[in-house]
Structure 1
Amino acid sequence: MQAFSPSPADDIEQGRFSDWPLALKSILGFWFVYALTVAARALMGTDAFTVLFNKLIIIGIGILLTGLIYVLIATFAGTSNIRRKAIVAGIASALASIGMAGAFIAIEDLMREPKEVFRYQSREGFVIIEKGHTLTVERRAQEPLVVTWPRMGQLDAYKRVRYAADTAVVWLFFFAAWSAFYLATKAQAEALTAQRRAVEAESAAQAAQVRALRYQINPHFLFNTLNSLSSLVMSGRPEEAENMILKLSTFFRSSLSLDASADVTLAEEIELQRLYLDIEKVRFPRRLKVEIDIPQELRSARVPASCSSRLSRMRSNMECPAPATRSR
C-alpha cells in the first residue's frame, strides 16, 4: 500500500497552533498595507517623521492585539467548525478593538506632538491655525484667540468612555477584516488539503488495484502448468520439466518485479510475453508455434507495463490452440 507523504498543507490539521506561519504572514501583511497608507499620508505633510513615529507605536500594539485574536481563535476554536471559529473571531475582534481604544488613551503621553501647521479660512473671515493640541483663531482688529485642546487624561470619565467607544468601533472593522481574511484563507487551505488527499487516496487505490491484479495469479494458468509439470515428470522427461520450472519462475519473478505504474520498453514487454509463451510451448510443443518480428527501431519505445500484468490473467487453459501463431 502506498503511504502518504506529509506536505506543508497537512500541518494545518496537526495542532491548534500549527498554522502559525499562515497567521503570522496574514497579520504582517495586513499591518504592512496599513503602514503603507500611513506613510503615504505622512509624506504629504511637512512633519512626516513625527506622524510615522506615532503610527509605529499604534502598529506595534495592533500587531500584538491581532496576534491575540489568533491565539483566542486557535485556543477556543482551533479544531471546530467554521461557525464556531467565526463566533470566537468576532468576540476576539471586539476585545481587541476595545484594547486598541484603551491603548490610545494610555499611550497619549508617549505620542509626539506634530509640528505640522494647518491653516483654514472660515466663512466669517477668521483665519484658523491648528498645530498639535493648539488652535489659534486670528480675528480682525483683535488679539488672536488661542485654544488648547485638553489631553485625554484631563477629560472626565464619561467623555473618555465615549472617545474610547468611537475609537473601538473604527478598529473593530479592521480586526474583523483580518479575522475574515484569516478564516477564509484557512478554510481554503483545508479544502485544498482535503481535495489533494482525496486525489492521493484515489491514486493510491488505483495503484493498489493494479498491484492486486498484478499479484493475482490466474488459477487456470497455474493449475494447467502444474499439471503439465506432473505429466512431464511421470512420463520420464525430467529435463523438459526442469526447463519448464525455470521458465515459470523467471516469468513470475519478472512479472511481479515490474512497477505497474511505470512504462517499460517494448523489448522488455516482448521478452515477458516470450517467457509466457515459452511455458505454453512446453505444454504444447507441436501445436503452438510462435514467431515474433519487431523492427529494431521500435524496441526502445516505451509502453505501459499493464500489458505484461494481463498475461498472467489470460486464458491459459489453451486446450485447443491454433497450430501456429505469428505475433508482430
Structure 2
Amino acid sequence: MHALTISPADRIERGRFSDWPLALKSILGFWFVYALTVAARAFMGTDALTILFNKLISISIGIVLTGLIYIAIASLAGNAGIRKKAIVAGLASFVASWGMAGSFIAIEDVMREPKEVFRYQSREGFVIIEKGRTLTVERRAQEPLVLTWPRMGELDTNKRIRYAADVSVTWLFFFAAWSAFYLATKAQAEALNAKRRAVEAESAAQAAQVRALRYQINPHFLFNTLNSLSSLVMGGRPEEAENMILKLSTFFRSSLSLDPSADVTLAEEIDLQRLYLEIEKVRFPRRLKVEIDIPDDLKNARVPGLLLQPLWRM
C-alpha cells in the first residue's frame, strides 16, 4: 500500500530558520559584490592593502548585521505574510544601518590610516594635499597650512549623531536592498514549492486512482470462478480444481503487484491475459476459443499494464 509521504525538505520548510541556506547565500552574495567594487576601487590607488584591510572590517560587521536582520525576520515573522515580513525587514534594516554607523565610530582607532596622497588644484591657485587625516594647503610665498581632521571621539555628541545619521542613510538602502531581494527570493521559492507539492499531490492522486481501479476485482468474475471451482470439487475433479486455483492466485498476484505508473512489454501483458483466459476456458470449455497472434517485432513494445483486461470483459 502506498501513501502520500512528506519529504524531509517539506518538513524542514515549516521551521522558522529552515531557509537559512538561502539567506546565507544571499548575504554572502551581496557582500561579495560589494567587496569586488571595493577591491576594484582599492587597486586604482597606491595603498590598496590599507583600504582592503579597513573595508574588510566593515564588511565583516555588515555580514553580521545582515545576518541579524535575517534572524529578526525569521523570529518575528517567520510564518507570517509578506506584508509583516516587509515591515519587520524595514525596521531591522533601519536598526542595522544605525548599528553600522555606530560601529564606524567605535572602531575608528582600529582602522589604519591610508598612505595614499591626493593632490588638488584649487581655483584660487592653492595646491591641496590630502593624506589620511592631514590636509595641507600650499600657498605662494607662505608657509604651507597643515590641517588635521579631528577624530570622532573628539567631536561633541551632536556632531557624532549627525555623522552617524549621514552614514546610516547610505547603509539603510543597502540593507533594505538585501531585505527586498531575500523576501522576493523566498516568496518565489515558496511559490515553486507550493506548485511542486500540488503537482506531486495530483500525481499521487492519479496513481492512487489507477491503483484503486486495478485493485477492484470484478465480482462476477470471482463469483463465477468460485462456482466453477465448487463444481470441479463436487464433481470429483480435484486436479482440475487445483490447477484453476493456481491460475487464479497467479493472476491476482501478478495483476495486483503491477506498478500503475510503469509500462510492461506486450509479451508480458499477453502472458497475464492468458492466465485470465485459461480460467475462463474452464467455465466455457466448448464456447471459448482463444487464438493470439502477435508479430515478433511487437512483443517488446511497451504498453500500460492490464491494458487488454477490459477487452475480455466486454
Note if contact 2:255-2:306 (Cα within 8 Å) is conserved in structure 1: no
Partner of 1:98: 98
1:7 deviates by 5.3
1:238 deviates by 4.1
1:303 deviates by 1.6
1:296 aligns with 2:293: no
Give structure 1 stretches of 5+ with no counterpart.
317-328
1:234 deviates by 4.2
Tell me which moved more, 13-22 or 222-231: 222-231
Partner of 1:128: 128
AA partner of residue 151 (structure 2)? R
What are the Cα deviations for residues 25-63 of structure 1, in whole angstroms up to 9, with x where unaligned? 111111111111000000000111111111111011111
For residues 155 and 229 of structure 2, the distance between their equivalents in structure 1, rounded to whole angstroms, comes to: 107
Give structure 2 stretches of 5+ with no counterpart.
none
Note if contact 1:12-1:190 (Cα within 8 Å) is conserved in structure 2: no
Q: Quick one: higher RCO (CA 8 Å, sep 6+), 1 or 2?
A: 1
Note if contact 1:120-1:127 (Cα within 8 Å) is conserved in structure 2: yes
Partner of 2:149: 149
For residues 81 and 187 of structure 2, the distance between their equivalents in structure 1, rounded to whole angstroms, comes to: 10
Distance 1:4 1:277, change over 3 A: same
1:14 deviates by 3.2
For residues 307 and 240 of structure 1, the distance between their equivalents in structure 2, rounded to whole angstroms, comes to: 29
1:237 deviates by 4.3
TM-score by length of 2: 0.94
Tell me which moved more, 234-243 or 93-102: 234-243
1:104 deviates by 0.8
Distance 1:314 1:296, change over 3 A: closer
Distance 1:173 1:153, change over 3 A: same
AA partner of residue 16 (structure 2)? R
Residue 118 of structure 2 aligns to a residue in which SS?
strand
Residue 291 of structure 2 aligns to a residue in which SS?
strand
Partner of 1:31: 31
Identity between Structure 1 and Structure 2 (%): 81
Note if contact 1:4-1:200 (Cα within 8 Å) is conserved in structure 2: no
TM-score by length of 1: 0.90
Between the two proteins, the alignment pairs up a number of residues equal to 313
Partner of 1:41: 41
Partner of 1:2: 3
Partner of 2:215: 215
1:197 aligns with 2:205: no
1:242 deviates by 3.3
1:226 deviates by 2.3
What are the Cα deviations for residues 42-99 of structure 1, in whole angstroms up to 9, with x where unaligned? 0000111111111111011111111111111111111111111111111110000000
What are the Cα deviations for residues 240-279 of structure 1, in whole angstroms up to 9, with x where unaligned? 3333322222211121122221111211100111111111
Residue 87 of structure 1 aligns to a residue in which SS?
helix
